[in-house]
């Protein structure tokens, strides 16, 4: 993707290709080989890509459900997608429960008291929500650890006329670590309980796999997979997404606002953490940590200008970065600068940025600030 060249120049912009989102969903559906449904995770504003637009693209490509983390996300998504099947996966307070039920979203349960609370509120609101019982097979965050209690919750939900028992689910802790045997342990524990639950509750929707598990082991697909990061063309294993036939959907762009000659020893940015080693040209791009370009990229990042890589030098500030253009340059004010994405024959992958920051690609895209406009294209 390189659709942003014709866009009106602004200080910072995230260009999202919804066509890439569609193609990634189609690729994931091919991985399922027709034996399971795709649920697209669009929480956290679709991992920073834009929830409404990416949800529409995922559904157009064949996703059967959409998943969010919060009640407010469910409410906003319901406005954008009046007929879509929604799952709210996170913990809900009383107020949030009403909001999620009002949005017609399925909810996750893992405690008898909360199951009863869902039933009471559903009756008061005149709804009959779907519930998905969560089995904590080892993630250690939310869910019921005791398989006997999970079985009891399934039975209670199935017997309660105020509720619709829809699913049984879990979440993997180490699916993105190929050498981890803990993934296999979790899968085995979940499979054992799921087989018994399916026999007792025909039609139960069993789901476990995130993006990494979907690409790692078809035995984890069950009836549905919940893919997030791969929907946006990012690699769940933090490697090269193109090697897995995934297409990054997002570019982060700015432009060169100034080009100035620095004498040897002249500094750029707060704290004088970089000084010119010799006479050279330095460009300034009006994008910074207020936009999501993390301060840890100080003297540690790169930008593409004119199809060539240049180091980010000096402290990343809230609104600006400075770029070492070398002792000779043909870069001029107004030239595009790319922080994530392609330019010319080169590309800065989100995974590369994540490695420089000692984090993961999820955090990079979700960290792009709301003040950065999202511009949508479809290629």
Active site residue 362: no
- Asked whether the beta carbons of 156 and 133 are under 8 A apart, the reply is no
- Torsion sign (Cα): 91, 93, 99, 102: positive
Provide the pairing of β-strand 164-169 with 130-134: parallel
DSSP type of residue 8: P
Q: What are phi and psi of 248, to 5 degrees?
A: -55, 130
Question: Which pair of tokens denotes residue 184?
Answer: 């296999």
Residues 6+ apart with CB under 8 A from 115: 109, 131, 153, 156, 157, 160, 163
Residue 276: burial class (beta carbons within 10 Å; 0-12, 13-18, 19+)? buried
Active site residue 255: no
The whole-angstrom separation of Cα 372 and Cα 366 is: 12
The whole-angstrom separation of Cα 302 and Cα 313 is: 9
Residues in the chain: 379
The Cα angle at residue 371 between residues 365 and 374, in degrees rounded to 5: 60
Q: Where are the beta strands (DSSP E) in the chain?
A: 13-17, 37-41, 65-68, 85-88, 106-109, 130-134, 164-169, 205-207, 224-227, 250-255, 258-262, 280-285, 301-305, 308-313, 321-326, 336-343, 346-348, 374-377
The whole-angstrom separation of Cα 241 and Cα 252 is: 17
The single residue of 255, 270, 289, 310 carrying the catalytic annotation is 270
CB atoms closer than 10 angstroms to residue 213: 25
Cα 341 to Cα 229, 288, 314: the distances in Å are: 16, 17, 22
Provide the pairing of β-strand 374-377 with 308-313: unpaired
The single residue of 43, 255, 310, 362 carrying the catalytic annotation is 43
- Asked whether the beta carbons of 249 and 289 are under 8 A apart, the reply is no
**Which residues belong to the active site?**
43, 270
């Amino acid at each position: 993707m390189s659709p942003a060249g014709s866009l009106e120049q602004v200080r910072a912009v995230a260009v999202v290709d919804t066509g890439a989102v569609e193609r990634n969903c189609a690729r994931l559906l091919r991985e399922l080989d027709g034996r399971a449904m795709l649920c697209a995770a669009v929480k956290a504003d679709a991992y920073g890509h834009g929830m409404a637009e990416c949800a529409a693209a995922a559904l157009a490509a064949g996703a059967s459900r959409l998943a969010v983390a919060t009640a407010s996300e469910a409410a906003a998504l319901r406005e954008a997608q009046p007929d879509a099947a929604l799952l709210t996966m996170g913990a809900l307070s009383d107020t949030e429960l009403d909001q999620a039920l009002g949005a017609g979203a399925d909810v996750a349960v893992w405690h008898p008291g909360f199951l009863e609370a869902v039933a009471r509120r559903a009756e008061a609101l005149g709804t009959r929500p779907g519930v998905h019982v969560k089995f904590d097979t080892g993630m250690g965050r939310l869910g019921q650890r005791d398989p006997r209690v999970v079985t009891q919750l399934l039975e209670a939900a199935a017997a309660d006329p105020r509720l619709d028992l829809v699913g049984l689910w879990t979440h993997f802790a180490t699916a993105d670590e190929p050498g981890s045997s803990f993934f296999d342990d979790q899968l085995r524990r979940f499979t054992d309980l799921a087989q018994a639950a399916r026999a007792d509750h025909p039609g139960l929707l069993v789901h476990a796999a995130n993006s990494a598990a979907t690409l790692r082991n078809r035995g984890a697909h069950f009836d549905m997979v919940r893919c997030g990061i791969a929907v946006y063309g990012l690699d769940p294993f933090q490697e090269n997404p193109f090697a897995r036939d995934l297409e990054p959907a997002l570019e982060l762009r700015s432009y060169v606002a100034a080009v100035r000659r620095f004498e040897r020893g002249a500094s750029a940015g707060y704290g004088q953490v970089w000084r010119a080693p010799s006479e050279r040209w330095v460009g300034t791009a009006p994008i910074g940590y207020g936009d999501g370009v993390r301060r840890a990229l100080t003297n540690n990042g790169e930008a593409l200008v004119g199809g060539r890589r240049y180091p980010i030098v000096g402290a990343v500030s809230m609104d600006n970065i400075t770029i070492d253009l070398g002792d000779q340059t043909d870069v001029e004010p107004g030239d595009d600068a790319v922080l994530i994405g392609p330019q010319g024959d080169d590309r800065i992958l989100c995974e590369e940025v994540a490695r420089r920051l000692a984090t993961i690609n999820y955090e990079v895209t979700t960290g792009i600030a709301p003040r950065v406009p999202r511009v949508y294209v479809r290629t």
